[in-house]
Homo-oligomer: A and B are copies of this chain.
Amino acid sequence: MEIIRIPRIALDTCRKHLLKGRSIGFVPTMGALHEGHLSLIRRSRSENDITAGSIFVNPMQFGPSEDFDKYPRDIENDIRKMRDEEVDILFMPDRSVIYPERFSTYINIGELSGKLCGRFRPGHFTGVATIVSKLFNIINPTRAYFGQKDFQQTVTIKKMVKDLNFNIDVVVCPTVREPDGLAMSSRNTYLNEEQRKAASVIFKCLTKASDMIKSGIINPEQAKELMLKAISEEALITDTDYASVYDPETLDEITEMSGDVLLAVAVQVGTTRLIDNVLINM
């Protein structure tokens, strides 16, 4: 595994592979790797000649009151995991080469950025789109891999790829879960034992609502109530940002079902914000 810290070197290295006709799969991460990330790497390895990963905790996608400083960093283990998964290229730039002095260019995705998590994290998806477009230009991947857990992220990146004519396939991979259903997330490490147990209610409420809909009760209001009720019964969930039924393309809350639907939840467990979702193909 080649570890590269300089954009220009990563660019030249990836370009050489490209010129030899090799496909490049790309797995951008913020490190603190878990099984979810590793599943993306494995999928990339199975579909491409070369797999490139990146580790960069992107300050631009954190709000001023968010957890940038305490975001888990475990660089030695991350490198080991990437190597064990036979990643070919690991791009691990310093903040100063990604955002040099007087950096000032931003990609705004429009309405989609303001929905769901965007309402609670202003600027977050501008930060995501900007860093991802930079990484795309550096790595020049054939395919890029993202987890479905961050559903709105996948939708906004697909939107950017389409609107700006990036020649990249965005591959969305299934959410990887703990045995009790909790979606894997680097932020799960913030939870104490009791909070960790309580957090399992997120996937449980999504499953309940999903089961209800699949059983034929295709009523978004009822699904929403079911989720909110289940969450409210868990005392350690301190706040609910949203829990409802959405159009998976527009991310608008829906009151009538026609076509695929997204059940999505964002809650606070103490100071930790957790999200999850389930997509139902009708």
Contact = CB atoms under 8 A, between A and B. Distances in A.
A95 to B, nearest CB: 14
B19 A103 contact: no
Interface string A105-127: 11111111000000000000000
A161 to B, nearest CB: 9
Contacts of A165: 7, 11, 134, 137-138
A238 interface: no
13 contacts: A7-B165, A19-B19, A103-B163, A104-B112, A105-B109, A105-B129, A105-B159, A105-B164, A107-B108, A108-B108, A130-B164, A133-B164, A134-B165
B110 A107 contact: no
Interface of A: 7, 11, 15, 18-19, 21, 103-112, 129-130, 133-134, 137-138, 140, 159-160, 163-167
Nearest to A97: B165
The quantity of this chain's copies bound in the complex is 2
Contact of A107 (B11, B19, B105, B159): B105
A159 to B, nearest CB: 7
Nearest to A98: B165
A163 B110 contact: no
Q: Which 6 A-B pairs have the closest CB atoms?
A: A104-B110, A105-B163, A137-B165, A106-B108, A134-B165, A138-B165
A64 B167 CA distance: 32
B107 A111 contact: no
A107 B109 contact: no
Given A19-B21, A140-B167, 19 more contacts: A7-B165, A11-B167, A18-B18, A19-B19, A104-B111, A104-B163, A105-B110, A105-B160, A106-B108, A107-B107, A107-B108, A107-B164, A108-B108, A130-B164, A133-B164, A134-B163, A134-B165, A137-B164, A137-B167
Nearest to A10: B165
A29 to B, nearest CB: 18
Which one of A11, A105, A109, A159 has the greatest number of beta carbons of chain B within 10 Å?
Answer: A105
Contacts of A104: 109-112, 159, 163
Contacts of A138: 165
A15 B167 CA distance: 10
Nearest to A160: B105
Contact of A134 (B105, B108, B159, B164): B164
A5 to B, nearest CB: 14
A140 to B, nearest CB: 8
Nearest to A106: B108
A166 to B, nearest CB: 5
Contacts of A108: 105-108
